[in-house]
Structure 1
Amino acid sequence: MMPKFTHIENDRAKMVDISGKGEVVREATAAGKIFLRPETLKAIREGTVMKGNVLATARVAATLAVKNTASIIPMCHPIPISSISVDFTDCEGYIEAVVVVKMTGRTGVEMEALTGVSVALLTVWDMVKSAEKDAAGQYPVTAITDIRVVEKKKGK
């Protein structure tokens, strides 16, 4: 059972004022994993997934998610993205997604990188969900884990 909040001292949502900060080069790398059945991983490798090219679609989805983070996360500033890279590593039992986001501005880009990784992994799940379901319609193997900021850089 979830705890119930009876009183919240400061319930006002507020975007942080970054107007006094200087513009600097910023970069964030985020990563995460999706665990899948061996047969599903093989189908992704061989390009035989019914919905199409899983990783190419996930790469496009991650890019769109990074560019639209401020529309998804309410207190996130819209920022001028300089570059986005999305890579996948085929590991034993899972795929790891890594998203690197760069920009020059007054606020960090870690939320954009985290959003990109999350949407990439969700897109993989969506594209292979029919292969991942068991006879009862459940997902006994499929799991998204370890979404995290791997590295954050500020300045040159």
Structure 2
Amino acid sequence: MSDTPKLTHLNDAGQPSMVDVGGKTVTRRVARARSRVILGSEIIQLVQAGDLPTRKGPVFQTAIIAGVMAAKKTSDLIPLCHPIGLDDCQIRIEVAAPDAVIIECTATVTSKTGVEMEALTGASVAALTVYDMCKALSHDIVIAETRLLDKTGGKQDFHHVD
């Protein structure tokens, strides 16, 4: 048996394949992902005192709802992800002065498969929602980074160190 990492979504013939989780143990699994959105100092000044109201609704509250909705639909968006019923999904948005917001999505499930993709999808769609709602103020907004911060409960835990 080789210790060389291999892609799990390819079968022996090299074709796309869903991972068979039938033999795995059900455990509580938690994953946390982060997206960083650079809005610019002018937009940040508008949100410093609280959520920025727009015609589409308050930016942060709308982004939180969008992120949770997206995390719940991850298997509809990412072809080989297993559909799972999330136990919990929390989105937190905070201003990171002078010019950005940090969005963190924590997804939790009791299942045979992990929730990394759900956490990453939730953070990503929340970031895209912030972009969409603020683009009338500037098209210089940058979604700079989306990454997995940590995951627990599966075969191998992971923790990103800044």
Distance of 2:88 and 2:68 partners within structure 1: 10
Question: Could you tell me which residue of structure 1 aligns to residue 8 of structure 2?
Answer: none
Q: What are the superposed Cα offsets for residues 86-143 of structure 1, whole Å, 9 maximum, x if unpaired?
A: 001101110000000001000110000000000000000000001013xxxxx2xx11
Larger relative contact order (Cα-Cα within 8 Å, sequence gap ≥ 6): 1
Return the structure number with greater helix share: 1
Alpha carbon RMSD of aligned pairs, Å?
1.7
Runs of 4+ in 1 over 3 A off after TM superposition: 48-51
1:75 maps to what in 2?
A: 80
Do 2:64 and 2:126's aligned partners in 1 also have CA atoms closer than 8 Å? yes
Tell whether 2:28 aligns with 1:29: no
Gaps of 5+ in 2: 1-11, 155-162
Q: TM-score with structure 2 length normalisation?
A: 0.81
Q: Which residue of 2 aligns with 1:143?
A: 142
Does residue 62 of structure 1 match 2:67?
A: yes
Distance 2:104 2:66 in 1: 13
Which among 17, 35, 49 is matched to residue 14 of structure 1?
17
In the superposition, the TM-score normalised over structure 1's length comes to 0.84
Partner SS, residue 20 of structure 1: coil
Return the offset for 1:48: 4.1
What runs of 5+ residues in structure 1 fail to find an aligned partner? 1-8, 134-138
Aligned to 1:5: none
Aligned position for 1:3: none
